[in-house]
Structure 1
Amino acid sequence: MKLIRLKHISDKYFHKAWKLYENAFPMEERRLLNDQSYILQNDSYHFDVLIDKDQFIGFILWWDFDTYRYIDHFATVLEQRNKGIGKLILNKFINRDAKSIILEVELPTSKINDRRIQFYERVGFKLNKHHYEIPPIKEDQSPLQLLLMSYPNFISEKDADLFVQKYHPIIFNK
């Protein structure tokens, strides 16, 4: 299995990855294609597709910041789910360097959200209970309430607030 970093929406595998992105995440958690095209140019942003035997199997979209790596979106194709591939991918990502990792998850208000949180916990992520929200993707939407998960340790509410203040303007182009 290999990772290939995409830098343009015309790159090989982008359209397969984009289709998975649109199917795997609700509209209020996704960028628009024009925004994605723009953000691909940011050196801190990584749009990494996962390829196994020349087949697209998923992606991990992440940011490399001074003190954190932030997983923006992560998904595998339906045929690869529940086979341990996601755990393998995240373990390789964790072992890339010693920076702490942050990701966000939906509130545990449904079975699927609970399962997603439990998956990340099995990999070693910690569920932080601080208030956390992301700005609306579209102007007519409300901010989205989420929770932060972190690896390898919990983060303080102060660190969560600092993450929002320092990195949200970059992540969300505000």
Structure 2
Amino acid sequence: MKVIRLKNISNDYFQMAWNLYEDAFPPEERKSLNDQTYVLQNENYHFDIFLMDTNQFIGFILWWDFESYIYIDHFATVKKQRNKGLGNLILNKIIDNNDKPILLEVELPTSSINERRIKFYKRIGFKINQHYYDIPISKSHQSRLQLLLMSYPNLISKNEIEQFIENFHPIIFKTKKNDTGN
């Protein structure tokens, strides 16, 4: 499996990754194309795509490398490659290449697909933190979105979550139109 870090939207693989991104995540959890273009300029942000040996696009992982955490923003594999262990391989590459705690968000277990995603991350070793957690409003018509924060390799405290929100949400959710992140 080959990994390529995209630094701009002109890369040949970007449109395939962007189509998967739009298909895999609901609108309230996605960045706009303008915001994605802007965030690609941040050195802490990684837009990594994964290719099979034949250069066939199989998925992506969008993540942030902060001083105290790795934060996985979005992660998806193409539909025809799901349930083949590739998602596990991709996440284990991130785990094996970093010695920092890893955080990611999941939707509340209110549907069978959400429950399956949580179980997938648990099988890899992520722990589900039961502290209240929501993401800032990113679009004017959107209300706050409550999610659960999962962490690897250990649970994190409510205080650690609050520190993560205070220190890193302004960076993660900063957009070209909204430089304060609020």
TM tier, smaller: over 0.9
Q: Distance in 1 between matches of 2:9 and 2:86?
A: 25
TM-score when normalising by structure 1: 0.99
Q: Could you report, residue by residue, the CA deviation over 1:55-107 in whole angstroms, capped at 9, with x for unpaired residues? A: 11000000000010000000000011001110111111100021000000000
Q: Give, in angstroms, the shift of residue 49 of structure 1.
A: 0.4
**Aligned residue number for residue 67 of structure 1:** 68
Q: Could you report, residue by residue, the CA deviation over 1:12-64 in whole angstroms, capped at 9, with x for unpaired residues? A: 20000000000000000000000000000000000000011111100000000
Task: Spell out the pairing of 1:1-174 with structure 2 (5 A cutoff).
Answer: 1-52=1-52, 53-173=54-174, 174=181
Identical-residue share of aligned pairs (%): 64
Q: Distance in 2 between matches of 1:121 and 1:114?
A: 10
Q: Distance in 1 between matches of 2:90 and 2:136?
A: 28
Worse-superposed segment, 20-29 or 132-141:
132-141
Q: Distance in 1 between matches of 2:30 and 2:98?
A: 27
TM-score when normalising by structure 2: 0.95
Unmatched 5+ stretches in structure 1: none
Q: Distance in 2 between matches of 1:150 and 1:12?
A: 33
Match for 1:133: what amino acid?
D
Runs of 4+ displaced beyond 3 Å = none
Match for 1:150: what amino acid?
S
Secondary structure in structure 2 of the residue aligned to 1:74: strand
Match for 1:143: what amino acid?
R
Secondary structure in structure 2 of the residue aligned to 1:15: helix
Unmatched 5+ stretches in structure 2: 175-180
Cα-Cα RMSD: 0.5
